[in-house]
Amino acid sequence: MIQLFVVFSFLIWVIALLGFGCFVSVLIKRYLEDFEITPEFKILYYGILGLIVISIIGTIFNFFIPLNYYFSLVILLLGIILFISYRKNIIASYTWMHFLIFFLLFIYSCLLSLKNLKGYDTLLYHLPMVNWISNLALPFGLANLHTRFGFNSSWFIDASIIYPLRLITNSPFFIINAIVSFFYGTFIFATLSRIMKDNRLHFSTAFALTTFIPWFYYLVGLASSLYPDVPVMLLTLFVTFLLIKSFETKNADCLFISLIISFYIVTIKLSAIPYFLGFFLILILFFIFKKISTRTKEIIPKNLNYIQYIFTFIILLIMGLPYLIRNLVSSGYIAFPSAISYVNLKWSVPIKSAVSNANWVRSWARKPGLNPNDVLGNWDWLIPWFNNITNDKILVCMAIFGFLIALFCFIFKKRRDLDIFLIVSFLSLSGCLFWFFTAPDPRFGYGYLFSFFGTLVSYGIYNFIDKEKSIKYFLKFICFAIFLVFLYQNNISLKEISNTSKVKDITFIERKTKEGIIISTPKKGDQCSDGPLLSTPYFNENLKIIFDKNNNPRMFYFEE
């Protein structure tokens, strides 16, 4: 059965990613010696490192070759070999209860990955982008064919490699969102297990528990899609956890790791840049002042040295250069569609088109369906936008509860770790403000919003539930609530899972450019879905294409 093959693919890619991640973590440990990889987040941490590694490798190789199933197989086998080599490091410190929980999470995530591809953008440009990456080396100016291809994301590189073999599945199945959700789920439930064992609640562990809400919310809805918003949200929540933990333990290495992961988030989606800049600023302040104190205690970790900074800079360079070069190759912009990042190259997307796309993103996030000229430059969109965002009951309830419990903390003078709370809430609030003034669609800002509201909620829980007896009652309540959520809101349909055709058929019209090159366009709507490579909803007869000796497109451009 095709479904069993997808589940098998899920399993072996989880193993391979953990293998890559553990291997890289050993190298990192040589320079960031004080970073403690605890059992609670070990699987998630290794998984993230594995994703970073294959995105770097894939980005570099895609300049020259397609990331087809031959390439994926090589990466997969290498990851499995690394897992076998480092298996003791990976499974050490876990009990049979952990493995039981992980197994149940694995089955649940697999089932959700078998759902239909319902995300609109997945059929609009996510799937077509993966098809380009899987079938051809990256052409110059690809964004001139389909401007959405200029929204460069390392998530599409990862997805093109972590892709169940189409020769067997026929229809596309995307498992990467479900995999990263599985990794994050192990973090939540391993943390819960640790709290139950120690009967102690820290600010960081309380925050980890609150992230169950957005994790489950997105796992159910978008596990089978390719939306980059899923990893952006989950990784943002994780680096927020690491930020809290770094100040709890006075461990600077947590901040260096957070900086690396936050830069990876930026390569997935540029809207994540506030966190990266925030961590960068904190580490620069540490470097300049060496020690900063508040009225109550020092907040700067000790034992900072130049080696840590140099090593982190090298890692960022290795991650950043391939990503930036890919941006230039695909669109001629350092950060498409920002006009200020334009570079005058033969294949660069015209500035007018980039500005139009940037305005469309900002406008759509405020009030979908209207012309940007009717939305931008005024505040008429604010009330409809507010009405729309308040329909998100989970977000609203978490916001209200967060503000109330944080207020009670100050009223009753329960202010443990106030310095940590202020720093973390300020950083996450800065992200919320950046989101609001750029593209305030809720989906684009869930990482910041849930980090901010989660910080409020977890700070109140941490301060009010501070006795052994109250912690026991709290944990019983949490376990019961999680059980009910999974029981009544799992959203698993056996009919949908049994369906092996995950995309709808699209009727295309063939149109010719002035040079006589045939370009396919959807007869209805703007989704190209699983159509031919040379397809776009934005046909322009002036488009010019240069082909190589194998008749594969190597450059898309417009003459001035």
Q: Tens-of-pLDDT digits for all 560 residues of the chain?
A: 788 999 999 999 999 999 999 999 999 998 888 888 999 999 999 999 999 999 999 999 999 999 999 999 999 999 999 999 999 999 988 889 899 999 999 998 988 888 877 778 888 899 999 999 999 999 999 999 999 999 989 999 999 999 888 888 888 889 999 999 999 999 999 999 999 888 888 999 999 999 999 998 877 777 888 889 999 999 999 999 999 999 888 888 899 999 999 999 999 999 899 999 999 998 888 887 766 555 555 666 566 778 889 999 999 999 999 999 999 999 999 999 888 999 999 999 999 999 998 899 889 989 887 888 888 888 989 998 998 888 888 889 999 999 999 888 888 778 888 888 999 999 999 999 999 998 898 888 999 999 999 999 999 999 888 777 788 888 888 888 888 887 777 667 677 776 667 777 788 999 999 999 999 999 888 888 888 999 999 899 999 999 998 899 999 999 86
| Residue 312 pLDDT | 93
Q: Where are the alpha helices (DSSP H) in 136-228?
A: 154-161, 166-169, 176-198, 203-210, 212-222
Q: What is the model's pLDDT at position 320?
A: 95
DSSP designation for 349: P
Coil, strand or helix: which one is 85? Answer: helix
423 occurs within a structural domain: no
**In this predicted structure, what is the pLDDT of residue 413?**
77
pLDDT digits (tens, 9 = 90+) for 209-234: 999 999 988 777 778 888 899 999 99
Sign of CA dihedral 184, 180, 111, 214: positive
Determine the Cα angle at 390 with ends 387 and 394, to 5°.
160
Domain limit, last residue, from 298, 328, 343: 343
- Domain total of the chain: 2
> How many residues in the chain?
560
> Looking at the domain assignment, is residue 132 inside a domain?
yes
Answer whether residue 352 is part of any domain. no
Q: Find residue 450's DSSP bridge partners.
A: none
- Quote the domain boundaries for residue 142: 2-343
DSSP letter for 555, please: E
- Give, as one character, the DSSP assignment of residue 115: S
What pLDDT, on the 0 to 100 scale, is given for residue 473? 83
In a domain, 447, yes or no: no
CB hemisphere CA count around 135 (13 angstroms) = 16
Is-contact 232 202, C-beta < 8 A? no
Indicate whether 141 belongs to any domain: yes
Domain edge (last residue) among 275, 309, 343: 343
Whether 180 maps to a domain, the answer reads: yes
Measured CA to CA, the distance from residue 44 to residue 129 in angstroms comes to: 27
Nearest to 452 by CA among 285, 180, 214: 214
3-state SS record for 14-69: HHHHHHHHHHHHHHHHCCCCCCCCCCCCHHHHHHHHHHHHHHHHHHHHCCCCCCCH
pLDDT at 300: 61
Question: Is there a domain that residue 266 lies in?
Answer: yes
Residue 473 lies in a domain: no
Of the three residues 326, 343, 360, the one that is the final residue of a domain is 343
| β-strand partners of 512 | 518
pLDDT recorded at residue 293: 56
